[in-house]
Structure 1
Amino acid sequence: MVIFPILIVISIILYVYYKVAILKSKDGLTQHYFNARSRICLGSFVLLFGINQYLFYLTTISLFIGIIFLLLGGYQAYDGFKEVKHYRKEWRRLHPNG
């Protein structure tokens, strides 16, 4: 399964990209938005890493660790999606013509 390592690398690259974008931005709302996007990428990284490790080793201990990673990654991604939705609405409210 070559798809999981590719998705893992893409998600960690996007995580680093959004963290650097936070440093470049001066607007607080944009920083919060990019932080929420980075949480989605971090959550997908952890989630995909947990799936990949279970599929690679296929042991009971990797199943338990994979479940923990799935739960943590799913929570991060879900929370990031909620924050992105909130900050996108807030940005549109403050910039109606933008």
Structure 2
Amino acid sequence: MIIFPILIIISLVLYVYYKVAILKSKDGLTQRYYNSRSRICLGSFIFFFGINQYLFYLTQISLFIGIVFVMLGSYQMYDGFKATKHYRNEWRRLHPSK
């Protein structure tokens, strides 16, 4: 399947983009927001990589490794979504006019 390598590359590119955006930003809240967005991208990278590895090899060991990667990626995405929501609400609270 070609869809998983495309999703892996997109999530890796977005991860690098958000990490570079952290370096460009001076505001601490914005940096933490970008870091949480990069964690979502890292989690999706690990998640899709785990699925892709199982579909590519179709062995029992790749199934176990894929399950571990899917669980780690899911946790990273969940934690990233929670942090992104929190920092977005904090930014709106501190900047009500924008």
Scaled by the length of structure 1, the TM-score of the pair is 1.00
1:23-66 CA-partner distances (Å, limit 9, x unpaired): 00000000000000000000000000000000000000000000
How many residue pairs align between the two structures? Answer: 98
Tell me how large the CA RMSD over aligned residues is. 0.2
What is the deviation of 1:75?
A: 0.3
Q: Equivalent residues in 2 for 1:47-66 (5 A)?
A: 47-66=47-66
Aligned equivalent of 1:70? 70
User: 1:39 matched to which residue of 2?
Assistant: 39
For residue 63 of structure 1, give the secondary structure of its aligned residue in structure 2: helix
Q: CA offset at residue 71 of structure 1? A: 0.5
For structure 1, list consecutive stretches of 5 or more residues without a partner in the other structure: none
Secondary structure (helix, strand or coil) at the match of 2:74 reads helix
TM-score, with length taken from structure 2: 1.00
Cα distance in 2 between the residues matched to 1:54 and 1:31 = 35
In the alignment, which residue of structure 2 is the partner of 1:79? 79
Identity of aligned residues (%): 79
State the one-letter code of the partner of 1:66.
Answer: G
